[in-house]
Chains A and B, each alone.
Chain A
Amino acid sequence: MTSFALHESADDELPAWSLPRDAAERIPIDNLLPARVDRDWAIGGATGAGISVCILDSGIEASHPLVGEIKSAVNISVDENENPVAADDTEGDLCGHGTACAGVVRALAPDAEIHSVRVIGAGFSGSGSVLIAGLRWAVQQGYDIVNMSLSTTKRRFGDALHELADTAYFNRSILVASAHNMPVESYPWRFSSVISVGSHEEPDPLVFYANPNPPVEFFARGVDVDVAWLGGGTIRATGNSFATPAIAAIAALVLSKHPGLTPFQLKTVLYLISNNVGGEARA
């Protein structure tokens, strides 16, 4: 892994985060962004190929025609220290929700790799711990994008989620998180290191809007969405849960075409091509 600490102290474990006078020439960075960012540059012809998208949810139904190949599937539990324990998931989806999210991603980014990390289903009592363990495990795997169409209202988990969201950000994993549908405080969608998503009511899955009044940053299609569900079928569903994978998929399209983008740059690109900013790019 590249270290960005160029001026290290005697103690290697405590690098000085500074840039000596002669070091700037050692860190040239190509500017990947053109003078004008539009949809054609950002996602034109993109399929999500080469990008891994993790669905942190209730599992994914194997062989669902609207989901296709699932690259990997694990079920998360916690050990006595609340560290994640990942086991191959043979149960699929216990609810249908994870399958729905995976289907939304597949529809928009057909060549993206989809991975399932199941954090729902072990009973309610440990659900907060399992959610954090699952996110920790997903961040450790280095997925390009992690879709979190869920959140927790427990404040004691807030700090751990904040730290994980920042770790993901610096490791160039994009966390795309659902804003809560109700007026409650929940995490991690409120953190600025994630991309948070609410719903709009329009039918086009590629139409999305930047929100000038965060913490919700983008609005995507989340009302009356026909989504994949259990038994190989579909259901018509409403909720920010289904808007979130639309943004995750659009992010996958951008990254598949421009793989070097940082999360900060990616969010900027999403902002620039959103329908209320990009202007001419209206779908």
Chain B
Amino acid sequence: MPENEGLHAAVAAGVLPAEDEFALLLRSIVVVARAIFGARGSSIFLYEPETDELVFAAVAGDDEQGLVGKRMPSSRGIAGWVLSSRTPLVLEDVQQDPRFARDVAEGTGYVPKGLMAVPLLHDETVLGVLQVLDRPERAAFSLREMELLGLFANQASIAVALLVAARRARSALAGHGDAAAVAALAAAVEALEGERRAAGIALVDALARILA
């Protein structure tokens, strides 16, 4: 990474929310998804390019304990197909699929009866997969629900894209001594309030003019 980009990323990282706030954001997405569709559960898998795996990033539902952080191959199962094809799927009676049931049960201990899975697409990139598990049974699924799923997934994708960019910035910062100092300065200024903040910004501004 060029020096300037590293420093810019460092400044960004210095003022970014902490990782636990991102966890709250992801959890909020699955909680809302669950509520919108009146579903039993919802989950987000994020794609991790380094390992070519899908990682459970957030879960809402009855069986959410211990799932976050679990991994599965990126091309496996329904989530893998949705990721690779970048296409949503809505399935009922998935328990009839023994391989699906086994895969999911191994990962979660819970086999849904039906699921909606939608790719988290941001521009040209697919960031992961959002799943909504076990909607209440209705006479028929409607295209309107499919549209709603797509709209919500688009909104969720923007949030996830911001998260991924922030993590990348933090990653760029790691092991970068000069950038770390700049990030620490940015974080310190960000934490100031009132007059001290104004004075801090004036100090940084003066420093920038001296160094220019």
Contact = CB atoms under 8 A, between A and B. Distances in A.
Interface of A: 58, 94-97, 120-125, 127, 149-156, 178, 180-184, 186, 199-201, 223-224, 229-231, 233-241
A184 B121 contact: yes
Given A124-B52, A124-B74, A234 B96 contact: yes
Contacts of A97: 81, 85, 89
Given A125-B52, A199-B143, A239-B88, 10 more contacts: A97-B89, A120-B75, A124-B75, A149-B85, A181-B88, A182-B153, A182-B154, A183-B154, A201-B140, A224-B140
Nearest to A119: B84
B88 A58 contact: no
18 contacts: A95-B78, A97-B85, A120-B80, A120-B85, A123-B73, A151-B85, A153-B86, A181-B87, A183-B150, A186-B86, A201-B140, A201-B142, A231-B98, A231-B99, A234-B93, A239-B87, A239-B146, A241-B89
A182 B140 CA distance: 20
Contact of B74 (A95, A125, A201, A223): A125
A231 B97 contact: yes
Given A151-B86, A153-B124, A239-B89, A125 B143 contact: no
Interface in B157-206: none
A31 to B, nearest CB: 39
A236 B86 contact: no
Nearest to A157: B124
A234 B97 CA distance: 8
A235 B124 contact: no
B55 interface: no
B146 A181 contact: yes
Interface in B60-98: 73-78, 80-81, 83-94, 96-98
Contacts of A125: 49, 52, 74
Contact of A229 (B52, B86, B96): B96
B126 interface: yes
Q: Nearest 8 pairs between A and B by C-beta? A: A182-B150, A124-B74, A238-B90, A150-B85, A236-B92, A95-B81, A233-B96, A127-B84
B86 A96 contact: no
A91 to B, nearest CB: 11
Contacts of A186: 86
A120 B121 contact: no
Q: Which of B76, B78, B121, B154 has most chain A Cβ within 10 Å?
A: B121
B118 interface: yes
Interface residues of B, number: 45
Nearest to A238: B90
Q: Specify the main secondary structure of chain A where it touches its partner.
A: loop
Contacts of A229: 96-97
Interface of B: 47, 49, 52, 73-78, 80-81, 83-94, 96-100, 114, 118-119, 121, 123-126, 140-143, 146, 150-151, 153-154
Nearest to A186: B86
A123 B52 CA distance: 7
Contacts of B77: 95
Identify which of A125, A184, A186, A233 gathers the most chain B CB atoms within 10 Å of its CB. A184
Given A120-B81, A125-B74, A235-B94, A96 B100 contact: yes
Contacts of B141: 223-224, 238
B83 A124 contact: yes
A229 to B, nearest CB: 5
Given A125-B49, A181-B146, A231-B97, A237 B89 contact: yes
A201 B87 CA distance: 19
Contacts of A150: 85-87
A184 to B, nearest CB: 5
A231 B87 contact: no
A122 B75 contact: yes
A97 B93 CA distance: 14
Contact of B121 (A153, A201, A224, A241): A153
A165 to B, nearest CB: 18
Contacts of A235: 91-94, 96-97
A27 B140 CA distance: 53
Given A58-B81, A150-B86, A234-B93, A121 B143 contact: no
A159 B149 CA distance: 29
A95 B96 contact: no
Nearest to A234: B96
Nearest to B88: A181
Contacts of B93: 234-236
